[in-house]
Amino acid sequence: MTSQPVVSQPVHRSGALLDHLARRMRLRAESVLAPFRLRPRHLVALTVLRGRDGITQQALSITLEMDGTNIVGLLNELEAEDLIERRRSPEDRRRHLVALTEAGAKRLAEAECALAAVEKEVLGALDDSQREALHSLLLQAAMGSDVSCPLD
Amino acid sequence: MTSQPVVSQPVHRSGALLDHLARRMRLRAESVLAPFRLRPRHLVALTVLRGRDGITQQALSITLEMDGTNIVGLLNELEAEDLIERRRSPEDRRRHLVALTEAGAKRLAEAECALAAVEKEVLGALDDSQREALHSLLLQAAMGSDVSCPLD
DNA sequence: ATAGTTGGTTGGTGCTGCACAAATCATTAG
DNA sequence: CTAATGATTTGTGCAGCACCAACCAACTAT
């Protein structure tokens, strides 16, 4: 690899587009999510938790790239709604292993279902297969670039 | 395809992933952009302007889904740096037609160039062709779902 | 045992992005 | 002339989030 001295095509930047679309999505998502007593960041956290059960709070803080103290608050809110559970780690009883509860998984699924319309609107220019492709690319990017995710 | 009465697979939701990745990108982008005296939202605005020269401020406000009064502030900042230009519309002299200046296009290009590393990091799990695919999907979604963009 | 370190928690402070409201000016339309 | 419209200015308030300091419980090392 790295053999070709190809200087580099203009290689399009996706940052601004990502920002823009995320914003549009979030604006609509907020009102849709409100009846579920969830805000966008809750959704993000729950989504992460669905993929990595029993993650430690530190790892979560790294994954979400949020300050540890704010993670606490976020989890408090979710725990108050019984959507997540904090279990003590048997190996190191200081650690909390955070996991989605059944209610949490259910709420997440319901919320996602309710977001179908939003996504349809924001990603309206994409057909189903394109949306699926987008999802898998986003997923791969999100999982792969996760510092706290050594082995998947 | 589209012939099967498949009720619907779980159809993955991309909202949270979009949110998550945009955040990761934005966090890094902020520091990279600082030397250019640009913040992420400036980048978004400039990116939009590159695609639609001579757009009216109202249209911009619709596209960015930002309040009109905040658009004014944003444009003031960009105009102070001579990155955009406000021209009076000849047809309706109340309107401002906003356009990228040469300096603006240049700054935008430079900033994007500087963001290469950031994108490489955040989208590190994707290879070049995947990144390209992602970009074109995002672009299509952004252009297509734009209410103020009747004909492109 | 004792000291130092680490995971988590609490409380507080402050900045930034943004929505929203109100008042103003220039221009256009009826 | 009057009303409506595009843009501007100024001011208010809230939410997200980073950061700091103090603290407890539990682990580690000596």
Q: Does any strand C atom come closer than 7 Å to the Cβ of B3? A: no
pLDDT at B12: 77
- Write the DSSP string, B97-138: EEEE-HHHHHHHHHHHHHTHHHHHHHTTTS-HHHHHHHHHHH
Q: Which of A79-83, B71-75, B95-99, B148-152 has the lowest mean pLDDT?
A: B148-152
Q: Residue B115 is nearest to which of A13, A25, A130, comparing CB atoms?
A: A13
Q: CA dist A116 to A51, A52, A84, A130, B12, Å?
A: 20, 23, 23, 15, 9
**Side chain identity at residue A121, one-letter code:** E
Query: For the segment A79-137, what is each residue's pLDDT rounded down to a tens digit?
Result: 999 999 999 999 999 999 999 999 999 999 999 999 998 999 899 999 999 999 999 99
From the Cβ of B92, is strand C under 7 Å away? Answer: yes
Residue B133 forms contact with A (CB below 8 Å):
yes
Facing residue for B15 by CB, picked from A19, A29, A139: A29
The nucleotides of chain D lying under 7 Å from a protein CB are: 5-11, 15-21, 25-28
For A124, the closest of B25, B128, B144 (CB atoms) is: B144
Cα–Cα distances (Å) from B39 to A30, A110, B17, B43, B44, in that order, read 24, 36, 22, 7, 9
Whether A142 contacts chain B with CB within 8 A: yes
CB of A135 within 8 Å of any CB in chain B?
A: yes
Instruction: Confirm if A36 and A114 have CB atoms less than 8 A apart.
Output: yes
pLDDT-derived band of residue A152, with 50, 70 and 90 as boundaries? very low
Please identify which residue in the block is written with the tokens 């498949």. Answer: B6
Mean pLDDT of A139-149: 74
pLDDT bin (cut points 50, 70, 90) of residue A13 is confident
Other CB atoms within 10 A of residue B54 CB: 14
DSSP H or E stretch at residue B17: helix B15-33
- pLDDT for the residue A151: 37
The answer to whether the beta carbon of residue A18 comes closer than 7 angstroms to any atom of strand C is no
Domains and CATH numbers, chain A: 18-144 (1.10.10.10)
Cα A23 to Cα A101, B40, B43, B65, B138, distances in angstroms: 29, 12, 14, 9, 13
Per-residue pLDDT at B13 exceeds 90: no
Amino acid at B50: R
**What SS3 state is found at B145?**
coil
Q: Which nucleotide is nearest to A40 (CA to C1')?
A: D16
